[in-house]
Structures are given as C-alpha cells and as structure tokens.
C-alpha cells in the first residue's frame, strides 16, 4: 500500500471516529428516505420468577436474593447490550450522541424490573463523556425515567381497571380456539394440578406455575421430573400458553382497549411530527415494558407470530420522510438477544407492505384506535 493511500484510509477512519459513523442497519433506510422519528418498545431483561408455588424445589431465597419478579444480573447485561444496539441504530437522531430531554423521552412500567431495565439500557445507550462526569470516580450520568402508578397505567403496564375489557377477556376462556388448545394440553395441565401443591387451582394459577418453571428452565435449573417435556417448543403446553397470550387481544374491541391507546399515542406523535407541531420536538420515545406490551401491539396490528416476546426483545416503530410531504411507517422486531445481528428486515404490515404511508396506516387500523378517552371507552 502506498503512503498516500494509507493516509487516505487513516483520514477516513479518523473522520468516522469523530463523527461516530455507525454502519449498523443502514440498509433498513431506503435510498431517499430519512428517519425522523422512532418509538421503541422493549421488554425488561431476565427476571426471577414472579412467585413460587407450594412444592417448588427452588423457592429458597438464596437463589433469588433480590426477591420475586426482580431483574437479574443477566437481565441487566442484556439491557445494557440492547442499549448499545439502540445507540448504533439511532445515533443520527441524537445531538452529538448525547442525551437531551428535548430529544429523548423514556417511560417505564412501574415495576422494579422495568425501571432497572431502563436504567441499564441507558448506560449502554448514552455512555458518559468526560465533560459529563459530575463526581470523582463516578462515570455515570443519571437520566430520567418516567412512570405512573400501575393502577393508572393503560399504556405500558396495562393494569388500569377496565370493566368492559374484563368482561370480554373472561369470555375468551370459553372461545373454541382457547378450549381446543386447553384440551390438547390437558395432560400437562393435570401434571401441574397434581404436583404443584395448589388447592382449588385456577387457569391463572396454571399459567403462573408454568411461568415459574419457564424462568427456572432459562436459568438452567433442573426441573422436577413431572414437568416432562412441557418446556419444549411446539409441545401442546407451549401451544396452549401461546394461545393464552393471544386471548389478551382476541377481538377487535379487546385490541382497542388493551393496545389501542398505546398505538393512538404513537400515531398522534408521528402526525404532529409530520406537521412540525410536536413539542418538544423529540426524535425518540422509549417504553420499558413487558412481554404482553409487545405481544398485544403486534397482535393488534396482525403481526404477532404467536411466540412470547423473549426478555429484552424490542419493537421499533419508525417514521421516515421521503421528499417534502411523503411520510412512511416501518416496523422492525428484534426478538433475539444475539448481539451481532445482521440488519433487521421490516415487518410486512397487512394490507400495506413493509413501507406504509402514515395516512394509510392510520386508515388500516382505525378500528383499533380508541375514539374517546379511557374512562368513556371502558364504561
């Protein structure tokens, strides 16, 4: 290599180094499209079981020192890595790669595991620069994470009481699809009923025991022999659990009441962005939520593959501008914790394709967008 050519490579490297020329996922932008706004919805990182059951061999506190339903060290690490991925993906939307409140907003479900996931994620997303160090030996800049009490949250935690929804949800347990899946999984359900030690066991108890076993399985703990192969993908129990998740947004009415308010919020901001009315004029909105937050939204958009969103999975809702008045929506789903990913492919939005004009997107899903406020819709 000649000295002149070598110097050219050095200059190119230095230029990219100073300007953080990230190359990840560049193929996702169309040649003439510019990413102008994004909403990110991710599931919290790995957690301990939400609760134990009477005959649980792993109920000892020393196995779960931080308590039930809490973020684990592995969960923190996954979220930190996801934050680094988000930094690469959205660096161009930031100001010099730094957090500013008028460009980025973070909202979390009011669970410890979600708030801590947001904290760990932000450590990877916004590494602290030397000019941001505020105390000796503490190279970490606190970034605000907003939340509301669970009982008032119908956007992320989805625990705000809605009588209309509760009635519809109860009826899904008598739906032919759910009953068929339950009948197929009857052998596994009976194993849980006979071995868990729970008296007067309910459907929600069965799901709870399965969830506890699932977390223990992911932590590489040896499950009791009676569990057999119920953790295997494709087993009748696996299909039953996946059907259970679909029941949260089984009907159009349920989609509207459980995912519609989040979708409406996203589309409202996107519309304001296209009209230069968004205030503050943010570029990135982040939600730290749950598997059900993602599953409900995907199912309401006709994009749910039936699999439970894994820990630290992430849904990207992106707004692109092409020309002066052309705005398109693209959705991407990161459902793996593999760090070095090839560029994600956009999801194929039913009735619109992988690149959907914003106005057409709103028309397609108008039936799942609430018209009134939460109280009126739930009355």
- Sheet containing strand 326-334, edge to edge, reads 104-108, 284-289, 34-43, 314-322, 326-334, 356-357
pLDDT at 212 exceeding the cut of 80: yes
Maximum distance among all Cα pairs of the chain, rounded to whole angstroms? 80
Domains and CATH numbers, the chain: 34-379 (3.40.50.1240)
Three-state secondary-structure class, residue 316: strand
CA 42 to each of CA 84, 98, 234, 294, 317: distance values in angstroms, whole numbers, following the listed order: 14, 21, 25, 7, 11
Q: Using pLDDT thresholds of 50, 70 and 90, give the confidence band for residue 6.
A: very low
Q: What is the pTM of this model?
A: 0.89
CB 22 within 8 A of CB 303: no
Burial of 215 per CB tally in 10 Å (0-12, 13-18, 19+): buried
Beta strands 34-43 and 314-322 are antiparallel
Query: Which is higher by pLDDT, 14 or 255?
Result: 255
Distance CA 162, CA 56 (A): 33
Which of the four pLDDT bands, split at 50, 70 and 90, describes residue 338?
Answer: low
Choice among 66, 110, 211, 291 that is catalytic? 291
Active site residue 33: no
Annotated active-site residue in 44, 46, 154, 238:
44
Could you read off the pLDDT of 227-238 as tens digits, one per residue? 999 999 999 999
> Model confidence at 31, in pLDDT bands (50, 70, 90)?
low
Q: Work out the pLDDT band at 341, boundaries 50, 70, 90.
A: low
Does 44 participate in catalysis according to the annotation? yes
Quick one: CA dihedral 157, 162, 164, 166, positive or negative? positive
pLDDT at 348 over 80: yes
Mean pLDDT, the chain, whole residue set = 90
Sign of CA dihedral 194, 195, 199, 202: negative
Q: Looking at per-residue confidence, does 336 or 113 come out higher? A: 113
The rounded Cα 99 to chain-centroid distance in angstroms is 21
The 10s digit of each residue's pLDDT in 232-271 is 999 999 999 999 999 999 999 999 999 999 999 999 999 9
């Amino acid at each position: 290599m000649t000295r002149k050519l070598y110097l050219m490579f050095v200059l190119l490297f230095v230029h990219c180094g100073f300007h953080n020329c990230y190359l990840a996922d560049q193929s996702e932008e169309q040649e003439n499209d510019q990413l102008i706004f994004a909403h990110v919805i991710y599931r919290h990182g790995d957690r301990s079981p939400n609760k134990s059951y009477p005959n649980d061999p792993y109920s000892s506190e020393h196995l779960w020192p931080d308590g039930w339903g809490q973020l684990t060290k592995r969960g923190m690490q996954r979220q930190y890595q996801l934050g680094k991925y988000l930094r690469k993906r959205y660096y161009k939307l930031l100001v010099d790669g730094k957090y500013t409140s008028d460009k980025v907003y973070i909202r979390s479900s009011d669970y410890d595991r979600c708030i801590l996931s947001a904290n760990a994620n932000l450590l990877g997303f916004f590494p602290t620069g030397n000019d941001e160090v505020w105390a000796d030996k503490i190279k970490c800049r606190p970034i605000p994470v907003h939340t509301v009490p669970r009982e008032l949250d119908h956007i992320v935690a989805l625990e705000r009481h809605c009588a209309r929804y509760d009635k519809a949800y109860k009826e899904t347990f008598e739906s032919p699809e759910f009953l068929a899946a339950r009948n197929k999984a009857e052998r596994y359900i009976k194993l849980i009923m006979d071995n868990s030690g729970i008296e007067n066991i309910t459907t929600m108890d069965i799901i709870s025991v399965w969830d506890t076993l699932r977390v223990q399985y992911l932590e590489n703990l040896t499950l009791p022999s009676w569990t057999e192969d119920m953790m295997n993908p494709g087993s009748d129990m696996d299909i039953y659990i996946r059907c259970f998740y679909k029941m949260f947004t089984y009907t159009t009415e349920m989609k509207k009441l459980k995912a519609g308010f989040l979708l409406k919020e996203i589309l409202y901001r996107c519309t304001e962005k296209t009209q230069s009315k968004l205030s503050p004029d943010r570029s990135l909105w982040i939600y730290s939520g749950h598997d059900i937050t993602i599953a409900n939204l995907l199912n309401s958009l006709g994009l749910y593959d039936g699999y439970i969103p894994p820990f630290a999975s992430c849904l990207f809702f992106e707004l692109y501008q092409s020309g002066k008045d052309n705005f398109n929506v693209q959705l991407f789903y990161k459902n793996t914790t593999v760090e070095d990913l090839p560029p994600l492919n956009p999801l194929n939005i039913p009735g619109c394709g992988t690149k959907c004009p914003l106005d057409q997107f709103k028309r397609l899903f108008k039936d799942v967008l609430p018209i009134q406020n939460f109280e009126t819709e739930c009355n």
